[in-house]
């Protein structure tokens, strides 16, 4: 049986780290593609030359030609621009929408049975572009954000309580960004809700740090954004899909009435298996949580409407 294959679009920080994690975990062969000539080839060769030391036999190749990505089981979309000085959020939205549309059309044509994991920001809006451009069914288009956001929350919980990260679990809903909704009563250490283990003030501080976790890293790095934890998060999704684990992971999923939302990608817990999203897991929300979730969904809807307006105008 041929080994599974993952296409990683974008050989930048996130893309190259995804390629490394996926190959070194022995999950799949990896094809890295980028618009810049030499970049994916160079990074792939460097990663391949690490294989004898690390001890894996996955194939890693780099290309600028979508034909080389044919027959992939998963397509990870990381291509895009970072916001540059003088560029408005709307400019970035329109530019990345154009990039994601183009790369998804080309890669989906080569891998019509694949599953797309979107990473490019603004995440929830880019999921809509990927769904439309691929023509795939919604369970095969999944956004990576919640795994990263909950990993950040878990890190802060573990540091606060002085416990192993392995003893923690965190639950995060909503869009990726300022309006994300961490749920403390479903976030636990050793199975005990953190609401029993810390004061409300400390929980609020950790929630706030989680919400601004991406910006905290940008402020430190100054020349880029996070990529180690984002890549690890993508690899966990790839693992659950390729090994048909049906792990419950928070992901941006296209909702069809679940959580009272219709026709929108929003972060919710889903089961990820060999066919993509096999179930959206619904939980009861308290009034406060519901209000925060609705606000988050409204922010995503606004972003998608802005994108549609920009693309109609441009």
Ligand X SMILES: NC(=O)c1ccc[n+]([C@@H]2O[C@H](COP(=O)([O-])OP(=O)(O)OC[C@H]3O[C@@H](n4cnc5c(N)ncnc54)[C@H](O)[C@@H]3O)[C@@H](O)[C@H]2O)c1
Instruction: List, by residue number, the catalytic residues.
Output: 176
The two tokens of residue 5 are 């294959």
Among residues 29 and 149, whose Cβ is nearest to ligand X? 149
Round to whole Å and give the CA distance between 224 and 28.
28
Q: If 0-12 CB within 10 Å is exposed, 13-18 middle and 19+ buried, where does residue 103 land?
A: buried
Q: Which of 66, 227, 254, 265 binds ligand X (CB under 6 A)?
A: 227
Least separation in angstroms between CB 24 and ligand X = 18
Residue of 128, 131, 117 lying closest to 276 (CA atoms): 117
Binding mask 139-178 for ligand X (x = CB under 6 A): -----xx--x---------------------------x--
Site size for ligand X (CB under 6 A): 31
The interface region with ligand X, picked from 21-29, 41-49, 75-83, 166-174 by CB under 6 A, is 75-83
Least separation in angstroms between CB 192 and ligand X = 28
**Residues 168, 189 contacting (CB under 8 angstroms):** yes
Q: Which of 79, 188, 236, 240 binds ligand X (CB under 6 A)?
A: 79
Site for ligand X in 87-146 (CB under 6 A): 99, 102-103, 119-121, 123, 144-145
Residue written as tokens 């990608």? 265
Among residues 46 and 262, whose Cβ is nearest to ligand X? 46
DSSP state letters, 128-188: HHHHHHH---GGGEEE--HHHHHHHHHHHHHHHHT--GGGEE--EES-SSTT-EE-GGG-E
Binding mask 1-20 for ligand X (x = CB under 6 A): --------xxxxxxx-----
DSSP state letters, 287-309: HHHHHHHHHHHHHHHHHHHHHHH
Q: CB within 8 A of 1, min separation 6: which ones?
A: none
Q: Does 224 bind ligand X (CB under 6 A)?
A: yes
Q: Which of 22, 27, 32, 34 binds ligand X (CB under 6 A)?
A: 34
Determine the residue with CB nearest ligand X: 12
Among residues 145 and 198, whose Cβ is nearest to ligand X? 145
Least separation in angstroms between CB 122 and ligand X = 8
**Residues 117, 142 contacting (CB under 8 angstroms):** yes
**Residues making contact with ligand X (CB under 6 A):** 9-15, 34-36, 39, 78-80, 82, 99, 102-103, 119-121, 123, 144-145, 148, 176, 224-227, 230
């Amino acid at each position: 049986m041929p080994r599974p294959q993952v296409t990683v679009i974008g050989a930048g920080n996130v893309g190259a780290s995804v390629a490394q994690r996926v190959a070194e975990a022995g999950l799949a062969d990896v094809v890295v593609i980028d618009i810049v000539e030499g970049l994916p080839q160079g990074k792939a060769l460097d990663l391949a030359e690490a294989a004898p030391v690390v001890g894996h036999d996955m194939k890693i190749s780099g290309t600028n030609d979508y034909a080389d990505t044919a027959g992939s089981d998963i397509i990870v979309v990381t291509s895009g621009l970072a916001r540059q000085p003088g560029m408005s959020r709307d400019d970035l939205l329109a530019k990345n929408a154009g990039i994601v549309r183009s790369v998804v059309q080309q890669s989906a044509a080569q891998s019509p049975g694949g599953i797309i994991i979107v990473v490019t920001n603004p995440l929830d809006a880019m999921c809509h572009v990927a769904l439309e451009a691929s023509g795939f069914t919604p369970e095969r288009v999944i956004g990576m954000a919640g795994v990263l956001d909950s990993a950040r929350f878990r890190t802060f919980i573990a540091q606060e309580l002085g416990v192993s990260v392995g003893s923690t679990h965190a639950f995060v809903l909503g869009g990726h960004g300022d309006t994300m909704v961490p749920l403390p009563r479903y976030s636990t250490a050793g199975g005990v809700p953190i609401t029993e283990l810390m004061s409300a003030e400390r929980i609020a501080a950790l929630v706030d740090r989680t919400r601004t976790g991406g910006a905290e890293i940008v402020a430190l790095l100054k020349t880029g954004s996070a990529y180690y934890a984002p890549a690890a998060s993508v690899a966990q999704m790839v693992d659950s899909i390729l090994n048909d684990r049906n792990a419950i992971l928070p992901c941006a999923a296209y909702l069809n009435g679940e959580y009272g939302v219709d026709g929108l990608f929003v972060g919710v817990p889903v089961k990820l298996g060999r066919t993509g999203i096999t179930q959206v897991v619904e939980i009861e929300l308290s009034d406060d949580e519901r209000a925060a979730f609705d606000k988050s969904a409204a922010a995503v809807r606004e972003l998608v409407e802005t994108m549609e307006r920009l693309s109609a105008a441009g």
